Amino acid sequence: MQRTVKIHAHDSDAQVAMPVRRQLFAAATEFFGLMALLVLVVLLVRLDAVVLSDTISEDSVTETLHVVLTLCTGAIFAHAAVRHPQARAYLVCVATMCGLIVIRENDHLLDHVWHGFWKWPALALGLTGLALAMRFRGTLAVPFLQHFQTRSGTFMYCGFLLLVVFSRLFGTGALWEPVMGAAYDPRIKSIIQEGLELLGGALITYGAILGMLQRFGLDMDLHLYADDRLD
């Protein structure tokens, strides 16, 4: 449950100083932690592209860490789906989406069975997740909105959009080839795209951990957009 510190005019400085100091310390810790996360993503991409002379292949550090982060996020939501039956459909949907991403990112390994084999475990997982979501469909919409209105939801869904939308658009060769002209190198597109995907995955996992600590906003009243004003 998220807690807020209410400061009234009659409160003394001593009464309000400690709560505010603790919140400022927590805010500063999170701010610099996120800064460190951004720097770490760049360092990992540099490790692959410069130190290891890799083009961010399927076996690169960047790709492997992205899969691990997605797997951790899926595990968090799968565990939460067991613990929070009042939000089971929503949590199952997110866990299923993470599982599908992991399967798709490891299609090169599953292709050792036969080419295109990854589609079958993906189909099985997708249908299982859909069946569970339909069975508990009354626990989908409201829990999603409750989580969406939290800070953890903001991190998660910004990371998701960065992963599935921005990384694809900004990391496409159709953008960089006209810009670079004859100097265009396909490795540039791959490095940019995979770096953005790793950043998106890191933000999603950070949001998932924060959401777990905040019970995904399930204890909060639904007030999304209620205070928005146009005037």
pLDDT digit string, tens, across residues 40-91: 999 999 998 888 877 777 778 898 999 999 999 999 999 999 999 999 999 9
Mean pLDDT of the chain: 87
What pLDDT does 206 receive?
A: 96
Q: Which residue has the higher pLDDT, 12 or 34?
A: 34
d(CA 132, CA 88) in angstroms, rounded, equals 8
- How buried is residue 48: exposed, middle or buried, by Cβ count under 10 Å (0-12/13-18/19+)? buried
b/e code 181-195 from CB counts within 10 Å (16+ = b): eeeeeeebbbbbbbb
What pLDDT does 137 receive?
A: 93
pTM for this model (two decimals): 0.85
Mean local confidence (pLDDT), 226-231: 58
What pLDDT does 69 receive?
A: 96
d(CA 210, CA 78) in angstroms, rounded, equals 15
189 neighbors 205 (Cβ within 8 angstroms): no
169 pLDDT more than 80 = yes
Mean local confidence (pLDDT), 11-27: 71
| Long-range Cβ contact pairs of 36-42 (< 8 A, separation 24 or more) | 37/202, 37/203, 37/206, 38/199, 40/202, 41/195, 41/198, 41/199, 41/202, 42/195
What pLDDT does 7 receive?
A: 47
pLDDT above 70 as % of the chain = 89
